[in-house]
Structure 1
Amino acid sequence: MVIPSLTPSVGWYAISLTPSMLRWWNGVAWTDDLVVRSSSGTDSRQTGTTFLRRGRLFATAFWVLAGLWVAVTVVMSLTGGYGLIWFLAPLPFIVVSIVFEARLSGYRRLLAPDAPPPFGLNPIR
């Protein structure tokens, strides 16, 4: 009788709902190594820390743009300009920022060092 291994085998595993992001399982724990596949078929090898830092940069940039737009709108309305028309203008930036934040929190959970091992999954490569 063969006893199955209690730990998953070493390899790249898809860690998101779509297999666009692969993470390396070294047989004991997750490493910080990632492969992010793009729709053009090219693979980008990076670390989870870099991936999260880049996402944080984009989210922060959209929050800054939304804040600046709101500040300009307030100044315009206080000085008698057409500021009231512009109050809805930063809304897309705010929505994109919220979406970025939600995705980042999901990726943060997926890329945590103590994320659960890939039991029941087969390595992709």
Structure 2
Amino acid sequence: MSSYLVVDLYCTPAEAETIRSILADEIAKFPEFAAARIQLEQTADDGSEMHLHWAGEHPGQDAADRAYFELEVTSAMDIPEPILREVEDTIIDWINSTYNDNPDDIVEVPWGSYAGTKLPD
């Protein structure tokens, strides 16, 4: 079996890289992730719907520097579900407390995440 953790982001390249770095630091705390691979990719989605939504809720802020990113951690080894969830919760809490925690502000880094274990093909 193998394990994965994916965080989808809509943000600037600099924000995506910062989040990747924080995630790398977090998984380094767990020996179960020793052989894991982290990959950050800008996705092919042009983001036009999200760009329009962003522009409508952030007047005067250009959405052109924002893109969809997929941050993926994969491991050929089976990582226990509680550890996957702990890392997932930690990175999402960090994103929210760093970018999205001001109740008078609109969300700055929209995200989505999923994690799990899959059987070999």
State TM-score, norm by structure 1: 0.29
User: Which one has the bigger strand percentage?
Assistant: 2
State TM-score, norm by structure 2: 0.30
User: Which one has the bigger helix percentage?
Assistant: 1
